Structure 1
Amino acid sequence: MNKNMLTELSDILNSRFSGLPCEARRLFHGRGRCYEGLEQLTVDWLKPVLLVSIFKEQEDSFYASLSEMLLVFASSPKWKEAGGEHILVQHRDRIDSPSEVVVGSIPEQLEITENGLTFLLDIGKRQNNGLFLDMRFGRKWVMANSQNKRVLNLFAYTCGFSVAAIQGGAQKVVNLDMAKSSLARGRDNHRLNAHDLSKVSFMGHDIFKSWGKLRKNGPYDLVVIDPPSFQKGSFVLTKDYAKILRRLPELVAENGEVLACVNAPDVGVEFLLEQMKEQAPEFAFVCRLENPPEFEDISDQSALKVMHFVRG
């Protein structure tokens, strides 16, 4: 990256701190390749934390210039007015993704809001903090389209879609994820929003060994599929997505819906369209959901893909 671009980054942060929402937001998305020289850097506002993430090792001079810029920003009136307390730099390229404190400290845990809902995050403890901000519109769509529905949330992680579905009036949500610790955080998120946990199931299983259990709890009116691009030993998107799609006729009710997601820059829109047509042709494509505007990307093919299908 280019340390001379940090002046532009400072200007962008100052501009975007004006009229800043109380909810969590990405403030700068260099990963979308719209800012030459800052492609390996993102900035998230998780009130009262400003989290700067770096995805590729840089020269010492870049880190020094970044820290200097952030310290100047922390002394600005806008930072104080917004209630900023902590500035962290997370090194996503390093083992365990450690976080460096520039201002303040690392909060033990952090409650943030999105779409009026509350989520609990872990800051500075692991690579991902507990909520992917680029899926904000996806969770909003689920909240608006879950009334009285039975929902299946695959690769549930910390159950963001489940929280949105129950808030939107879902009759039942089944969450499946191999990581039981993530599902435990999902329970915490539901409790934070005063949800009735009798409507929510948490299955800590390998999806490819759980089709019988999933069928038993179905059929579902809405299935959300939001897998990782790659998870060593368990999931490779380009190879394994088809195995999920071909099971949809067994899981989805008549006129049921599917929200299928891909967040791999090198996998375009046609991948999901072709895979669905081949593996589950009775599901018709409806539309691709828009991404939040703050996640600007040089190409809509490399940006997050959230695709809506309906069973005919």
Structure 2
Amino acid sequence: MDLNQLTTFIQHIETQLASSPVSVKRLFHGRGRRWPGLEQLTADWLANQLIISLFKQPEPLFIRALEAELTSLTQRENWRNTGATCIAIQHRYQTNQQLEVIWGTLEEKPVVDEHGLKFQLDIGKNQNFGLFPDMSEGRQWVQQHATGKHVLNLFAYTCGFSVAAIAGGAERVVNVDMAKASLSKGRENHKLNQHDLSRVQFMGHDIFKSWGKIRKSGPYDLIVIDPPSFQKGSFALTRDYRKILRRMNELLADQGSVLACVNSPVVDCNFLIETMKEEAPFINFQQRLDNPPEFEDIDPQASLKALVFR
């Protein structure tokens, strides 16, 4: 990380804050490689808290300078006008994901609003916060296309797609994820939005060992597939995505739709398009959803890919 580029980083954050950021937003996306020397740095605005993430261990001099710049930022009038309550640095390169508060007081479990829907975050203990802001357009798409649908949400995590689907009038949503703790948080997200939980099913199972149970609750009018790029011992992208698409024939209803997502720079859109042709040739590619502009990447194929099939 380039110490000389820190001024650019702080200036960009100030510019973004001046536009009255919403409850949850990416303010700086160094991972998009548009700012040389800052590729391993991101900044998120989460319920009036500025969370800086470092993805590679920096030199001690860089950390000291970053902390000094952030402390200086808190003295400026435009910062005070934001209502900010905390600045913290998350060291994503460390095994324990250490989060260091450098100003204010951290609220670990704030509730944020995204397009009128409420989600509870969990900041400080885990690598992720409980909601992926780059997928906001995907959640909106699901909400807009869920009316009367029977929805399957694979790799549901904290059930963001499920919340969007029920808000959009889905008849029923089945969430599948092997992490039961994440599904419990998803249940709470539904409760935050005063949803009827009798329309939502939570299956805490390994997807690859539970096709019978998943199929029994089908067929589905809309299937969302949003797996991790890699999860040791449970998911390898190029090998296991194919296994999922192979099941579409027995899961997807006539005229059904699939939102297939992948967030890995090692594959492009053609990976999903061609694999779908091979494993489920009756399903046709329709469109790629736009990513939020704040997640712009110098290589669009390296960023999140959310593709609609029908």
TM-score bracket for the superposition, by shorter chain length: over 0.9
The percent identity for this pair of structures is 56
Deviations 1:192-214 (A, max 9, x none): 01100000000000001111111
Q: Is the 8 A contact 2:157 2:186 kept in 1?
A: yes
Q: What residue in structure 1 maps to residue 94 of structure 2? A: 94
Structure 1: how far apart are the matches of 2:96 and 2:140? 31
Find the residue that maps to 2:83 and give its secondary structure: coil
Query: 1:283 is paired with a residue of what secondary structure?
Result: coil
CA contact (8 A) 1:222 1:258 kept: yes
CA deviation after TM superposition for structure 1 residue 104, in Å: 1.1
The corresponding residue for 1:26 is 26
1:269 is aligned to 269
C-alpha contact (below 8 Å) 1:47/1:83 kept by paired residues:
no
- Kept in 1: contact 2:283–2:309 (CA 8 A): yes
User: Residue 85 of structure 2 contacts residue 106 of structure 2 at CA under 8 Å; is this kept in 1?
Assistant: no
Q: Which residue of 1 aligns with 2:239?
A: 239
TM-score, normalisation: structure 2: 0.99
Q: How does 1:72-151 map to 2 (within 5 A)?
A: 72-151=72-151
Shift of 1:80: 1.6
Give 1:72 deviation, angstroms: 1.2
Residue by residue over 1:28-76, the C-alpha shift from the partner in whole angstroms, topping out at 9 and shown as x without a partner, is 0000111000000000001221000000001000000100111111122
Specify the SS of the correspondent of 1:165.
helix
> 1:118·1:193 contact (CA, 8 Å) conserved in 2?
yes
Q: What is the distance in 2 between the residues matched to 1:160 and 1:78?
A: 32
Contact 1:29 1:43 in 2 (8 A): yes
CA shift at 1:23, angstroms?
2.5
Kindly indicate whether the alpha-carbon contact (under 8 Å) linking 2:221 and 2:252 is maintained by their aligned counterparts in 1.
yes
Q: Tell whether the 8 Å contact from 1:223 to 1:252 is kept in structure 2 after alignment.
A: yes
- Distance across 1 between alignment mates of 2:165 and 2:80: 35
Residues matched between the structures, number: 310
SS class of match (1:125): coil
Shift of 1:239: 0.5
Q: 1: CA distance between counterparts of 2:261 and 2:114?
A: 20
Distance 2:200 2:251 in 1: 17
Q: Distance in 2 between matches of 1:222 and 1:169?
A: 13
Q: Provide, for residues 222-260 of structure 1, a one-character-per-residue CA deviation record: whole Å limited to 9, x for no partner.
A: 000000010011100011000000100100100000000
8 Å contact 2:48–2:83 — kept in the other structure?
yes
**1:5 alignment partner in structure 2:** 5
Q: AA paired with 1:31?
A: R
Asked whether the equivalents of residues 24 and 46 of structure 1 are also in contact (C-alpha less than 8 Å), the reply is yes
Query: Matched residues in 2 for 1:148 and 1:213: separation?
Result: 22
The 1-side partners of 2:83 and 2:249 are apart by 49
Matched residue of 1:223: which SS? strand
Give the corresponding residue for 2:58.
Answer: 58
Hey, what does 2:289 align to over in structure 1? 289
Q: CA deviation at 1:81?
A: 1.3
Alpha-carbon distance in 2 for matches of 1:308, 1:197:
27
Partner of 2:46: 46
Q: Deviations over 1:111-141 (max 9, x none)?
A: 1111111110111111111011110100011
Q: Distance in 1 between matches of 2:87 and 2:283?
A: 46
Structure 1 residue 100: Cα displacement: 0.5
Distance in 1 (CA, whole Å) between partners of 2:161 and 2:108 is 24
Root-mean-square deviation (Å): 0.8
- Does structure 1 residue 300 correspond to structure 2 residue 295? no
Would the aligned equivalents of 2:130 and 2:158 in 1 still touch at CA under 8 Å? yes
Q: Which amino acid aligns with 1:282?
A: F
Q: Deviations over 1:147-173 (max 9, x none)?
A: 010000000000000000000000000
TM-score scaled by length of structure 1: 0.98
Deviations 1:251-302 (A, max 9, x none): 0100000000010011111100110000000000000000000001010110
Partner Cα distance (1:143, 1:80) in 2: 35
Aligned mates of 1:3, 1:141 — CA distance in 2: 40
Structure 2 unmatched runs, 5+:
none
- Which amino acid in the other structure matches residue 166 of structure 2? I
1:79: Cα distance to partner? 1.8
Q: 2:131, 2:160 within 8 Å by CA — same for their partners in 1?
A: yes
Q: What one-letter code is carried by the residue in structure 2 that aligns with 1:121? A: L
Amino acid at match of 1:168: G
